[in-house]
Amino acid sequence: MEAVRTMLQDSGLQPRFWAEALHAYVHTKNRCSHKLTERKTPMEIWSGHKPSIRHCRTFGSLAYVYVPTVNRNKLQPKAKIGILVGYAVNRRGYRVWLPKERKVVESIHVKIDETKNGVKTLFGKVKHYDYAIYQLDQNLNNDSDCRAQDEKSSSPEKPSSLDISTRIRLEKPRKKSKRIDVYYYPPSKERLRSINDVKMYCERNKLEFDPN
């Protein structure tokens, strides 16, 4: 947990973000080689190909999440400002904490400024939490009490899992690499042309609708 403590202290984020820091650390660690694995990364052993680290960014950096045109008018900003807290779970992209909305969103349309600390830029200074050193171990050892210490702030939301048992699987090899992209399509060939069509489709199939 030393890496998680260091990431939280350096970024200035509250200790309740320890799970996000841990996930980001594991994501990066799995792409690092080790002498005990013959200089291969865990991802390479598992998938059979060398992983890319071009997408890796500094934890806690200032981030801008693009807002689709259908979710804003011409006078509203094109992006929401937030703090980078990790990488998307089930898709390509990043996880960004939006302080104004008090939630974590996942998006691939993110611009990250690694030269600026998110907490310092948005709140004026980086606050180092002295109790973070022992609070992390307490949370990990007590499974029944892993909630945020600040009850006024909501915990980062975890995206709901999608049932793919009824979907059509399609594998598409990449031309310039050995990687294979896997896509899951619904049985129907219904075209969704607007945000309202997407919302109605989610309601019919009992899926969670995310306008972002």
> Could you tell me which residues are beta bridge partners of residue 196?
none
The H or E element that residue 2 is part of is: helix 2-11
Q: Dihedral sign, CA of 103, 106, 109, 115?
A: positive
pLDDT digits (tens, 9 = 90+) for 151-165: 444 444 554 555 556
pLDDT averaged over every residue in the chain: 79
Average pLDDT for residues 176-184, to the nearest whole number? 76
Q: Which of 83, 38, 52 is closest to 179 using CA atoms?
A: 52
pLDDT digits (tens, 9 = 90+) for 88-118: 988 889 999 999 999 999 999 999 999 999 8
* Contact (CB, 8 A) for 9 and 21: no
Q: Coil, strand, or helix at residue 59?
A: coil
Residue 149, pLDDT above cutoff 50: no
Question: What are the structure tokens assigned to 165, written together?
Answer: 């048992």
Q: Which has more confidence, 20 or 188?
A: 20
What stretches of 35-156 show up as alpha helix (H) in DSSP?
42-47, 118-123, 132-141
Average pLDDT over residues 5-24: 90
What per-residue confidence (pLDDT) applies to 103? 92
Average pLDDT for residues 117-131, to the nearest whole number? Answer: 76
Asked whether residue 140 carries a pLDDT value surpassing 70, the answer given is no
25-78 pLDDT tens trace: 999 888 888 777 777 888 888 888 888 888 999 999 999 999 988 888 888 889
Question: What residue spans define the domains of the chain?
Answer: 1-127, 165-205
Phi then psi for residue 136, to 5 deg, are: -65, -45
3-class SS of residue 117: strand
Q: What is the pLDDT, as a whole number, of residue 178?
A: 76
Residue type for position 152: K
Alpha-carbon separation of residue 211 from 15, 32, 72, 99 (angstroms): 29, 35, 11, 18
pTM score: 0.57
Higher pLDDT, 85 or 126: 85
